[in-house]
Amino acid sequence: MHAPNERIRADSIATGASQLSAVLQELLELTPRAARN
Amino acid sequence: MTDTAVDPAAIAPDAVALAELDGGTGRERVRIDWLLRRLHDAPGGRRVDDAGNLVWAFGPPPYRLAVLVHVDDVFGEATHRRVTERDGWLSGPGIGDNAVAIATAVAVAEHGLGEHSLAGRELPLVIVFTVGEEGLGGLRGARHACRELAPEAVLALEGHGIDRVFTDAVGSLRVQLTVTGPGGHSWWDRGRPSAVHELFRSACQPRPRTARPTQTQRSPPAYRRSPSAAARARTCMPRTSGSALTPSPPAPAS
Residue B210, pLDDT score: 65
B82 & B145 share domain:
yes
Q: Percentage of residues in chain B with pLDDT exceeding 90? A: 55
State whether B48 and B147 are in the same domain: yes
User: Domain for residue B185, yes or no?
Assistant: yes
Do B141 and B197 fall into the same domain? no
Identify the closest residue of chain A to B11 by CA–CA distance.
Answer: A13
* Whether residue B155 sits in one domain with residue B178: no
**Residue B117 to residues B35, B155, B234: CA-CA distances in angstroms?**
18, 19, 53
Kindly list the residues from chain B whose CB atom is less than 8 angstroms away from the CB atom of residue A20.
Answer: 67, 104-105, 108, 112, 157, 162
Encode pLDDT of B38-65 as tens digits. 999 988 999 999 999 999 999 999 999 9
Q: What is the pLDDT of residue B12?
A: 93
- In the prediction, which pLDDT does B175 show? 79
Q: Judge whether B209 lies within some domain.
A: yes
Q: Is the dihedral of CA A19, A20, A21, A27 positive or negative?
A: positive
In the structure, what pLDDT confidence band is assigned to residue B216 with cuts at 50, 70 and 90? Answer: very low
Residues B113/B59, Cβ–Cβ less than 8 Å: no
Is the Cβ–Cβ distance between B48 and B101 less than 8 Å?
A: no
Last residue of a domain, one of B161, B195, B220: B161
Strand ranges of the sheet holding B84-86, from the earlier edge strand across to the other edge = A7-9, B89-91, B84-86
Domain assignment of residue B148, yes or no = yes
Query: Is residue B250 assigned to a domain?
Result: yes
**Which residue, of B161, B193, B217, is where some domain finishes?**
B161
**For residue B76, how far is the Cα from the chain centroid?**
17
| Domain annotation covers residue B166 | no
Number of folded domains in chain B? 2
The confidence band for B82, taking pLDDT boundaries of 50, 70 and 90, is very high
B30 lies in the same domain as B124:
yes
Q: Do residues B73 and B194 both lie within one domain?
A: no
Domain match, B201 and B136 both = no
Averaged pLDDT, B159-172? 83
What per-residue confidence (pLDDT) applies to B114?
64
Same domain, B20 and B142: yes
Name the residue with higher pLDDT: A3 or B83: B83
For residue B230, the model assigns a pLDDT of 41
Average pLDDT over residues B239-248: 39
CATH for B37: 3.40.630.10
pLDDT given at position B212: 58
Q: Give the Cα separation of B198 and B180 in Å (integer).
A: 9
Average pLDDT over residues B107-125: 77
Binding-site residues on chain A for chain B (CB distance < 8 A): 1-28, 31, 33, 36
Counted across chains A and B, CB pairs separated by less than 8 A come out at 127
> Is residue B51 in a domain?
yes
Q: What is the pLDDT of residue B68?
A: 97
User: Three-state SS for B131?
Assistant: coil
Residue B232 has pLDDT above 50, yes or no: no
Domain range enclosing B178 = 173-254
pLDDT value at B99 more than 90: yes
With CB atoms and an 8 Å threshold, state whether A6 touches B105: no
B116 and B51 part of one domain: yes
- Mark whether B121 and B59 lie in a shared domain: yes
Residue B78 has pLDDT above 60, yes or no: yes
**Which are the contacts of A4, defined by CB distance < 8 A and separation ≥ 6?**
B75, B79, B80, B92, B93
- Whether residues B14 and B135 share a domain: the answer is yes
User: How many residues does this entry show for chain B?
Assistant: 254
